[in-house]
Amino acid sequence: MLNFDVVPGRAVRDILAERKTVLEIVREAYLAHGAGRTNNPDSYFLRFDDKPADRIIALPARTAVADADIAGIKWIASFPENVEQGLPRASAVLVLNDMANGYPYALLEAAGISAARTAASIALAAAAAQATHPGDGTVGFFGAGVIARTILVYLAEAGVDVRNVLVCDPHPGSAASLVAYAESLGMAGRAVPAAEALAAGTVVTATNTGAPHLDRAPEPGQVYLNVSLRDFTPEVIIAAQNVVDDVDHCLKANTSPHLAEQRLGHREFITGTIPGLLAGEFRLDPARGVVISPFGLGVLDLAVGHWVHGTAVASGTSIRIAGFFGEEQRW
């Protein structure tokens, strides 16, 4: 009999509260990717002529985890105008496939998984960068949505020095909410203009911008966590040390590093990758600023999703759909 499970968002959210486990899973997935033990093809963007700000992205992938060989796909929508209706910008599902027969065996609500793996990935990189760029305890945020909130808590979980949180967001209510969240974690928080946020020891971009709007390069000791990928001008990228999760993935779709490549005609401005940084394959120069740009790898979603599914089944919080497949025999 072929099983098919659905893991609803509330169950996913409760499981993801184990943030240390998420960090460990994402670290191992990164190291597997760096060692060439994954299959992570290009992401595919569905865009709309009549809704240019909106998109739905497919991230297919395959990876081996400790107890399974899995494939699957994340299908994630980004509709920025949702915010005006009080809805989260992003929604997503994750499908997991059994590599023994190709059949999908689970469907998970995945907006939370996507946010957690994104936050864990950049938090791990920021923590590794502290060996040469320890920061000053101040983190400036551009954007104050779900991703920013999740990044903040994961930075603290990963051991990054976060004592003061500066928030720049054009939506005052969103900025105030992130400030209040930071204060609930025992940090000081304040809404500030762009110039002040950009002067923090660590700067996080978590916006939905489609074009560069920040042109100040990181100073020695500063680290820019370029999560939304398109906020910085090519000149900022060119002036900095650059760490990406995957060179081929990150240098496309007019990300800031891609614009730098178009400007220069080469990729020599890339210092290394996040897997390489985590593995200690190179050391950053403390005399130069750093930009870390994670494009987002589907293998991270798969690894976290596989663990979430197994935990949900074991705890009885998944829903098994009997007879989901119309035919389970060839004849």
For the segment 67-72, the average pLDDT, to the nearest whole number, is 89
d(CA 248, CA 180): 38
* pLDDT score at 1: 66
Beta strand extents in the chain (DSSP E only): 5-7, 38-39, 44-47, 55-65, 68-78, 90-98, 104-109, 138-142, 164-168, 188-191, 202-205, 223-226, 241-244, 270-273, 290-293, 319-320
Residue identified by tokens 């906020």 is 231
Q: In what order do the strands lie in the sheet with 241-244?
A: 188-191, 164-168, 138-142, 202-205, 223-226, 290-293, 241-244, 270-273
In the chain, ranges of CATH 3.30.1780.10 domains: 5-113+298-320
Cβ burial of 290 (10 Å; 0-12, 13-18, 19+) is buried
Taking alpha carbons only, the member of 113, 81, 88 closest to residue 177 is: 88
Confidence category of residue 330, pLDDT binned at 50, 70, 90? confident
Candidates 3.40.47.10, 3.40.1160.10, 3.40.50.720, 3.40.50.2000; correct CATH number of 117-293? 3.40.50.720
> Taking the complete model, does pTM exceed 0.75, yes or no?
yes
Provide the 8-state DSSP code for 80: G
Averaged pLDDT of the chain: 95
For the segment 230-252, the average pLDDT, to the nearest whole number, is 97
DSSP sequence for 184-220: HTT-EEEE--HHHHHTSSEEEE----SS--B-PPPPT
pLDDT, tens digit (0-9, with 9 covering 90-100), for 116-172 = 999 999 999 999 999 999 999 999 999 999 999 999 999 999 999 999 999 999 999
pLDDT, tens digit (0-9, with 9 covering 90-100), for 26-37 = 999 999 999 999
Instruction: Please say whether the dihedral angle defined by the alpha carbons of residues 34, 35, 38 and 40, taken in this order, is positive or negative.
Output: positive
Check: CB of residue 89 under 8 Å from CB of residue 208. Answer: yes
Provide the 8-state DSSP code for 169: -
77: its two tokens: 């929508």
Strands 5-7 and 319-320: antiparallel
CATH topology for 5-113+298-320 is: ornithine cyclodeaminase, domain 1 (3.30.1780)
In the chain, ranges of CATH 3.40.50.720 domains: 117-293
HEC string of 273-308 equals EHHHHHCCCCCCCCCCCEEEECCCCHHHHHHHHHHH
* pLDDT score at 28: 96
For the segment 241-257, the average pLDDT, to the nearest whole number, is 96
Q: What value, to the nearest 5°, has the Cα angle with vertex 314 and ends 313 and 317? A: 50
Q: Over the Cα atoms of the chain, what is R_g?
A: 20
SS3 253: coil
Which of 65-74, 142-151, 294-303 comes out lowest in average pLDDT?
Answer: 65-74
Percent of the chain with pLDDT over 90: 90
Taking alpha carbons only, the member of 290, 155, 296 closest to residue 224 is: 290
Strands 202-205 and 138-142: parallel
108: its two tokens: 């998970």
